[in-house]
Amino acid sequence: MVLARKPGSGEATRAPLTSYGIAVLVVGFALLVKLLLDPLIEEESPFLLFFGAVMVGAWFGGLGPGLLATALAALTANYFFLSPTYTLLVDDFGQALRLALFVLEGSFVSLLVATMRSVRRQSEARTLQSRRDQEDLRRSEERFRATFEQAAVGIAHVGFGGEWLRVNQKLCDIVGYTREELLERTFQDLTHPDDLQSDLDLFVSLIAGEIPTYSMEKRYFHKDGSTVWVHLTVSAACDGRGGPGYCIAVIEDITGRKRAEEARHFLAEAGTTLSSSLDYRATLAGVARLAVPYLADWCIVDVFEENGLDRVAVAHQNPEKVALAHELQERYPPDPDELYGVARTLRTGQAELVAEIPEPLLEEAARDAEHREILRKLGLKSYVIVPLVARGRTLGAITLVSAESGRRYGHADLELAEELARRAALAVDNARLYRERSETARALQGSLLPSRLPDVPGVEVGLRYLPAGEADVGGDFYDVFDMEVGCWEDSGEPSTNSAGSTWGVVIGDVCGKGAEAAAVLALARYTIRAMVMHEECPSAILAGLNEAMLRQRRERDDHKFCTVACMRLEMDAAELGTEPGAERGVKVNVSLGGHPAPVLLKTDGSIHNIGEPGRALGVFDDPGLTAQEARLAPGDALVLYTDGVTEARSPDGAFFGEERLVSLLRACAGLDASSLAGRIESAVLDFQENGPRDDIAVLVLRVPE
């Protein structure tokens, strides 16, 4: 087996062999010189040259080669120069003593020279190592200096009094001071007052050794007066004795991130304000107050209305200055032809940013000397004007002005203002669209329902009607009309002064909302009015409505339907006053087309449903219509309602239901018709805790006692 040698073992072996070889050669050289010079020089001691050989061997080879040279020199001197010559035997005690002394002296010289050689080499090694250490230290310092100066974050050495001991260029860039200016200050001088105490508390704990390091987000004042957000990490550095010597602070500029967070928070608050109401004038005023002082010292909002440009909001922290702004608006109304400012933004739809308001601009804006003086006293520094644009139309403008804060607007501020204006414009546009739609819905609803109900002889009529939304036409409808004298007067409105003995009462609910529901509602109501001219029985009237809706379904592929309760009231003679001594009361004939049955509330609190349900109209050829008669005695009330009452839901999802309605009616026995209808409406709204999800219609007929 071949054994592998360790790397370098050959060189390590050859080095001692070379040293011993040198020792042999040196002794041989000394012998040669001695032999050559011996005839010429009379020397009592033959060991002089051999002492030199021992020294050379020890110097170059160390102790081992020196001893070898000593031994060889002793043998050579004995053989060649001590008598008897040419023999290694020593028969003279003096000669033996001389050889022994030479060997001792040679050994001592070898040891001494080897020691000197080792000391020299160790000194050279220490010197070399020292040079290497110094070079490493120099390179390390260069790397540290480069890292310190070229770091992407601010780095500083801070004394225990808060003084800056050493700072890098990045920190100077963050706070705007030169290195010399910064070294003359303390970190307390630059720290925002709101952050100073918390920073000092942590700094003291660090110096006391209670914590090894701390981090925090804080604010510095830039040299120009602006605020800089930084993330600060501080740790203690030890001195040469192991105790705390100074602090190392690493400072990262996070102003951009903090401003982005603040902008998102501001826009979120603005969005909440804008969505809080459909009164856009109030919400824009709220947004203006929100912008001061976060975004501006002044915030002004102008909006185009039907009568021209209207200033809907002026915000400033000082109410006196707000009053001054309104006064200036009246005394110096804006010129729509101005080449700058709000007028230009409204004309072009482009934002305007002035980072520094120049004096000539103020001179040009002033109308007279007094106006100029007022503008100068306001100390206006910078402004940005952004248009309110929605669906390609300029609705107005938002003006942000900095004054006493000294803020100078930049591109980031412009972007934030434009986003605020975009959201505000959408809110204004949506509010206007909702207002227009609500007005249209109210007008259409008003044309489809009676403007007011007629007075029915001998019967109290109570009505509560509440559509689920303002922007859509509701699906519930109702009607009360005289069946004897005709449904219409020449004016086109229901008669309100007839004294007939037979009256029709209708309440119903069409499916859906909006324009389609309005079309079905109109068809249902006016078809019933037309059928009354030919039919008296409520079931026949509803049958005619069902036929009309089925015809429209086939002709227009319209799948709308409705539920209706139709009723005929016949007054007794006593109610009409024709027979004063007759028994009072009202006869009722009811037919239901899928509608909830009317509830008869007797004076004693008993409850009865009147009518058979039938089926919804506009779906089946035979809706199963029937008629049921009942009589209302004095004090009795008949309650008609839509499913918006019984199907109203509480926040936890429970239905109001018929049982709750029956309990409510029992508790309301004896109330007049209007009060009873109001109680039902209030109970349903309180049950839902919010606005109604479905239309609510309640019609109460009561015979007074």
* pLDDT band for position 602 (cuts 50, 70, 90): very high
In tens, the pLDDT along 187-246 reads: 999 999 999 999 999 999 998 889 999 999 999 999 988 889 999 999 998 766 666 688
In tens, the pLDDT along 364-380 reads: 888 888 888 888 888 88
What pLDDT is recorded for position 7?
46
What pLDDT is recorded for position 75?
83
The bridge status of strand 696-702 relative to strand 637-641 is antiparallel
From the number of C-beta atoms within 10 Å of its C-beta (0-12, 13-18, 19+), residue 625 rates as buried
* pLDDT band for position 426 (cuts 50, 70, 90): very high
Calculate ∠ Cα 183-187-189, nearest 5°.
95
Cα separation, 353 vs 349, whole angstroms: 13
In tens, the pLDDT along 307-320 reads: 888 899 999 999 99
Residue 147 neighbours by CB under 8 Å, 6+ apart: none
Largest CA distance in the chain: 188
SS3 590: strand
In tens, the pLDDT along 326-365 reads: 888 888 888 887 888 898 999 999 999 999 988 888 888 8
Question: Contact at 8 Å (CB) between 213 and 206?
Answer: yes
Per residue, what are the HEC states of 474-537? CCEEEEEEECCCCCCCCCCCCCCCCCCCEEEEEEEEECCCHHHHHHHHHHHHHHHHHHHCCCCC
Q: Which tokens in the block code for residue 418?
A: 């434009």
Is the pLDDT reported for residue 386 higher than 90?
A: yes
Lowest mean pLDDT among 122-136, 391-405, 515-529: 515-529
Q: Which tokens in the block code for residue 65?
A: 């080669």
Q: pTM of this prediction? A: 0.60
Residue 72 neighbours by CB under 8 Å, 6+ apart: 23, 24, 27
Residue 438 neighbours by CB under 8 Å, 6+ apart: 470, 471
Cα separation, 92 vs 400, whole angstroms: 123
From the number of C-beta atoms within 10 Å of its C-beta (0-12, 13-18, 19+), residue 52 rates as middle
